[in-house]
Amino acid sequence: MKKSMLISVILISSLITRAQVSNINLSMGATIPLGDYKSTADATSTGYAGTGFTLNIGGKYFIVDYLGIGGTLNYGTNSTDEDALKESWLQYVKDLYPDYVIPPDANVEFNTNLWNYVNLMVGPVFSIPISRISFEFKAQAGISFITPPKRELYITYTNNEIYNNSGGSNVAFGYLLGASIVFQANDDYGVRVGADYFGSKAKLDLESRVDDGIGGSEIITEVWEVPVTAIHATVGIVYFF
């Protein structure tokens, strides 16, 4: 009995004491919006974001067994629920200018595009190796360069024109919390499957203008803040060095 236990301990120890190998990886997959970033509840504070694409370039250098420092360069893009945003945006304009009654036959033009962001993150990595498989966990923070979708609403009727737009670009604090499984196929290459939680915030600069055609005009400017939170589900290749 004691001999069997000793053999088991030796086998397990031989599996989990493999020295960690520093590596770089390239992976891609889906970015799935969460919370207010996904919500279509309020044009002033939610993102109307849909599922999109993400691309990651990452690297890890192990200082000691199990613990290292990692970096991530990440690009992500999310679609926008254009129909829901148009409806909310139109209602916002009506509430903003209650003295202007927009008739049902008014000409309404609305344009929007995608959310885009680039993240540059760094932080600790903890890894548990079992034979050729490693379970990795990371906590990284850094800079997010976020470009919210352009939102333009142009309304014309009789002698009136209402123009409303928002946009801008942001440099904000961001972070990634992630876990991954890395399979080392040989001394040089492997496969990585991972999921990261991304969090940051974006500011949107808004300008609204109304012209009644007889010299009367009104301009309103605002700044809105929208949380940007998503799950990045990715798969990719790893190079060990």
Say what the pLDDT of residue 7 is.
Answer: 46
SS (H, E, C) 78-92: EEECHHHHHHHHHHH
Instruction: Tell me which H or E stretch contains 35.
Output: helix 35-38
Say what the pLDDT of residue 8 is.
Answer: 47
Say what the pLDDT of residue 101 is.
Answer: 86
Domain count, the chain: 1
User: CB-based contacts of 19: which residues, under 8 Å, 6+ apart?
Assistant: 65
Report how far residue 91's alpha carbon sits from residue 108's, in angstroms, rounded to the nearest whole number.
12
User: CB-based contacts of 186: which residues, under 8 Å, 6+ apart?
Assistant: none
- The size of the chain, in residues, is 241
Helices (runs of H) and strands (runs of E) counted in the chain: 3, 11
Say what the pLDDT of residue 114 is.
Answer: 96
Residues 172-204: tens digit of each pLDDT: 999 999 999 999 999 899 999 999 999 999 999
Task: Please list the pLDDT of the chain residue by residue as tens digits (241 residues).
Answer: 555 554 444 444 444 444 567 899 999 999 999 999 999 999 889 999 999 999 999 999 998 888 999 999 999 999 999 999 999 989 988 888 888 888 889 999 999 999 999 999 999 999 999 888 999 999 999 999 999 999 999 999 888 899 999 888 899 999 999 999 999 999 899 999 999 999 999 999 999 988 877 766 778 889 999 999 999 999 999 999 8
Q: What is the token pair recorded at 162?
A: 């209402």
Q: Are 21 and 37 in contact (CB under 8 A)?
A: no
Counting Cα atoms < 13 Å in the Cβ hemisphere of 145 gives 6
Q: Are 150 and 165 in contact (CB under 8 A)?
A: yes
Q: What is the CATH number of the domain that holds 168?
A: 2.40.160.20
Question: How far, in Å, are 85, 90, 210 from residue 42 at the CA level?
Answer: 9, 12, 22
Task: Quote the domain boundaries for residue 222.
Answer: 2-240
User: CB-based contacts of 151: which residues, under 8 Å, 6+ apart?
Assistant: 85, 89, 110, 111, 112, 164, 165, 166, 167, 204
